[in-house]
Amino acid sequence: MDMDMVYVVGHKNPDTDSVVSAVGYAALKPEEYVAFRAGEPNDETLEVFQLAGTDVPPLLSSLRLTALDMSKQLTSLDEKATFLEASKLLEKQKVIPVLKSDKLLGIVTEKDLFRVIQKELYEEEVTVRLEPEVLIKTIPGRFLTPPRVIEGVPLVLASSTETAGNRVRSNNVVIMGDRWDLLPVLLKRRVRAVIFTMGLSPSENDLEQLTNAGIVVFSSSLHTYNTIRLMFMAFTVKEAMNVNPVTVSPQDGLDFLRRLSNLHRHRYFPVVEEDGSFRGLLELADLASPPRKKVLLVDHNEPGQAVDGLQEAQVMGIIDHHRLGAFTTDEPVKIIIEPVGSTSTLVAREYVRQDTHMTRQVATLLLGGLVSDTLNLQSVTTTPLDVDIAQFLEERSFLPRDELASRLFHARVQAVLRDPSALTKDFKLFTFGKVRVGIAQIEIPGGSSLAPIMRDAIEKVMTEKLEKERLDLALFMLTDITQKGTLLFAFGQRHIAQMVWAKPFKDGTEYLPSVVSRKKQIVPLLEQILGGNG
Ligand SMILES: [Mn+2]
């Protein structure tokens, strides 16, 4: 894992501002920062990314360190690799994963190689099996007969003709120099193979006889001692590998890994997917002082709103426009928190401060975040800086801000229409005199123009409330932040509404200019005409 990488991420249940400000901020330092989102993007956010012509960043579900994060990438070998290849590789790494395609078959350490070699040292009847391609790449030399597997008990013929004659068996792989006098014995016993050393080869006539007897003949260009030494090196890792190492999953966390390492006193744990794919090697030593993931928080600063595992990570900075909650860090970090309309505003200002070029894509995204959080500069949180930055972004995105806003809020409405229960999220119940009234409200810039497409959904949820709460009157306020007015829907005993507002409520609705507050403008009037709330 690249531990220098900094995760740039917003809050959970991400809104548009928190996703785009992560992308915008990460683009300031692309070689170090990588943007993520902390949850599923909503329809409005997806719309902004579509307008910008780019994809939403990947999901970050946790900042906890995993086995995969701590694992090392190593060179692997296949099971036919020789001890010679393995020992060369073991000069560079302590362990070799043995793979078939990408599946782990086992692991090999120096110890494993020695165990095999050692085991053979005092055995009389050691069987070797040398695949032709393995032999050829390990011992310099050539086959004098068609290449075949050489399998049998090695026997060096250095003794007298008589002794040798008594010792040779049919399962032998004979290693010898120019002892042509022994050839009749080898032919008679039909040994498996003959390996001539020092580059020797028999006469054509002898070779023909050996070939006809089905004996494999190999000529090694080395002398006998080195030929035999290298025969050990021609063993394959398949014979030495530990086929049953304790493995861990890529997602296993630090706590689990520490418990596991106490249980099994191994030094190495291969990291393996459920399907057996090898992902890396975890070393016990790495668990002692694990690295920490670096994170930059945007659009939030409360740990409760952050991605899980924040406490295991190192916070490198915060860029936000919310109140500062309880927060401590180990080292001094860069914190930008200002009371402005959006985090996108602050991110965009960093481009100005750092004199960094902003792409059209980033400008579109940040304008989307700014417009979303400030309700297109209409919210009470909007500051002069937001207005300035909005203009800056509008110029660079080549996108009229109002057009962007209407696309965004349309997407927001579409989402509400798909799940109309969102319409009554802030439903409140009142009793004025003997009249039970329920009032719900949503605030949308340009909301009054959206009435036609929202009417059915509003009617459905408010009629349900009417029955469920046994209301006399159900009111729905579709408040238009841009026009600063409210389209008021009345369901149930509509004549009460007609009386209170002295208006006809044709089609059950009435537009009330300059009415935006339920608490200050709707409830007091109902109370005044119908009687006290209680
Ligand atoms: Mn925000």
**C-alpha span between 170 and 152 (Å, rounded):** 9
- Correct CATH for 68-116+239-288 of 3.30.110.70, 3.40.50.12780, 3.10.580.10, 3.40.718.10: 3.10.580.10
CA–centroid distance, 390 to ligand 1, in Å, is 15
Assign residue 6 a region (left: φ > 0; alpha: ψ between -120 and 50; beta: otherwise).
beta
Six token digits for residue 288: 């002692």
- List the 334-337 sheet strands across, edge first: 33-36, 6-9, 294-298, 314-320, 334-337
Detail the DSSP E strand segments found in 157-309: 172-176, 193-196, 216-220, 268-272, 278-283, 294-298
Share of the chain above pLDDT 70, in %: 99
Q: How confident is the model at residue 1 (pLDDT cuts 50, 70, 90)?
A: low
Tens digits of residue pLDDT in 188-211:
999 999 999 999 999 999 999 999
- Correct CATH for 421-530 of 3.10.310.20, 3.30.2290.10, 3.30.465.10, 2.60.120.10: 3.10.310.20
* SS3 of the chain: helix, strand, coil, percent, to 5: 40, 25, 35
CA–centroid distance, 39 to ligand 1, in Å, is 15
CA–centroid distance, 354 to ligand 1, in Å, is 22
pLDDT above 80 for 124: no
Q: Half-sphere exposure (CA, 13 Å, Cβ side) for 437?
A: 28
Most confident listed range (262-266, 383-387, 408-412): 383-387
Tens digits of residue pLDDT in 241-274:
999 999 999 999 888 998 888 888 888 999 999 9
Per-position DSSP letters for 429-481, written without gaps between them: EEEETTEEEEEEEEEETTGGGGHHHHHHHHHHHHHHHHHHTT-SEEEEEEEET
CA–centroid distance, 320 to ligand 1, in Å, is 7
CA–centroid distance, 18 to ligand 1, in Å, is 6
Q: What is the chain's Cα-based Rg? A: 39
Mean pLDDT of 517-529: 91
Q: Report which of residues 413 and 282 the model is more confident about.
A: 282
CATH class, 6-64+293-397 region: alpha beta
| Amino acid code (one letter) for 101 | S
Per-position DSSP letters for 326-339, written without gaps between them: S---SS--EEEE--
CA–centroid distance, 344 to ligand 1, in Å, is 7
Tens digits of residue pLDDT in 326-360:
677 888 889 999 999 999 999 999 999 999 999 99
CA–centroid distance, 321 to ligand 1, in Å, is 7
CA–centroid distance, 181 to ligand 1, in Å, is 94
CA–centroid distance, 351 to ligand 1, in Å, is 18
Q: SS3 of 365, please? A: helix
CA–centroid distance, 349 to ligand 1, in Å, is 15
Please choose, from the candidates 134, 153, 149, the residue with its C-alpha nearest in 3D space to the C-alpha of residue 216: 149
Looking at domain 132-235, its CATH architecture is 3-Layer(aba) Sandwich (3.40)
Q: Which pLDDT value is given to residue 519?
A: 87
Tens digits of residue pLDDT in 215-234:
999 999 999 999 998 988 88
**What are the structural domain ranges in the chain?**
6-64+293-397, 68-116+239-288, 132-235, 421-530
**C-alpha span between 449 and 229 (Å, rounded):** 89
What DSSP state is assigned to residue 287? H
CA–centroid distance, 372 to ligand 1, in Å, is 9
CA–centroid distance, 345 to ligand 1, in Å, is 9
Tens digits of residue pLDDT in 44-89:
999 999 999 999 999 999 999 999 988 999 999 999 999 999 999 9
Tens digits of residue pLDDT in 5-34:
999 999 998 999 999 999 999 999 999 999
Q: Do domains 68-116+239-288 and 421-530 have the same CATH topology?
A: no
Tens digits of residue pLDDT in 282-317:
998 888 888 889 999 999 998 888 999 998 899 999
Share of the chain above pLDDT 90, in %: 69
**Contact indicator for 238, 77 with CB cutoff of 8 Å:** no
Name the CA dihedral angle for 11, 16, 19, 25, rounded to a multiple of 10 degrees. -110
Assign residue 214 a region (left: φ > 0; alpha: ψ between -120 and 50; beta: otherwise).
left
CA–centroid distance, 417 to ligand 1, in Å, is 24
CA–centroid distance, 302 to ligand 1, in Å, is 13
Q: How confident is the model at residue 450 (pLDDT cuts 50, 70, 90)?
A: confident
Q: Report which of residues 426 and 366 the model is more confident about.
A: 366
Residue found by looking up tokens 């068609």 in the block: 146
Assign residue 400 a region (left: φ > 0; alpha: ψ between -120 and 50; beta: otherwise).
beta
**C-alpha span between 320 and 329 (Å, rounded):** 16
**Contact indicator for 106, 241 with CB cutoff of 8 Å:** yes
CA–centroid distance, 518 to ligand 1, in Å, is 25
CA–centroid distance, 5 to ligand 1, in Å, is 24
pLDDT above 60 for 42: yes
Q: Report which of residues 172 and 378 the model is more confident about.
A: 172
CA–centroid distance, 244 to ligand 1, in Å, is 51
CA–centroid distance, 37 to ligand 1, in Å, is 14
Q: Which pLDDT value is given to residue 454?
A: 86
Q: Which pLDDT value is given to residue 451?
A: 82
Q: Which pLDDT value is given to residue 171?
A: 93
Q: Which pLDDT value is given to residue 421?
A: 84
CA–centroid distance, 342 to ligand 1, in Å, is 5
Is-above-0.75 flag for pTM?
A: no
- C-alpha triplet 440, 441, 445: angle, nearest 5°: 165
CA–centroid distance, 455 to ligand 1, in Å, is 29
CA–centroid distance, 467 to ligand 1, in Å, is 37
**C-alpha span between 150 and 170 (Å, rounded):** 13
Six token digits for residue 474: 């159900």
Q: Which residues lie closer than 8 Å to 240 by C-beta, 6 or more apart?
A: 83, 86, 108, 112, 113, 115, 116
Task: Say which range, 66-70, 117-121, 450-454, has the weakest mean pLDDT.
Answer: 117-121
Q: Which pLDDT value is given to residue 263?
A: 86
Q: Which pLDDT value is given to residue 109?
A: 94
**C-alpha span between 179 and 202 (Å, rounded):** 10
CA distances from 229 to 117, 175, 225, 248 (A): 10, 12, 6, 37
What DSSP state is assigned to residue 506? G
CA–centroid distance, 285 to ligand 1, in Å, is 42
CA–centroid distance, 14 to ligand 1, in Å, is 9
CB-CB neighbours of 312 under 10 Å? 16
Task: Say which range, 112-126, 391-405, 469-483, has the weakest mean pLDDT.
Answer: 112-126
pLDDT above 80 for 120: no
Query: Mean pLDDT of all residues in the chain?
Result: 91
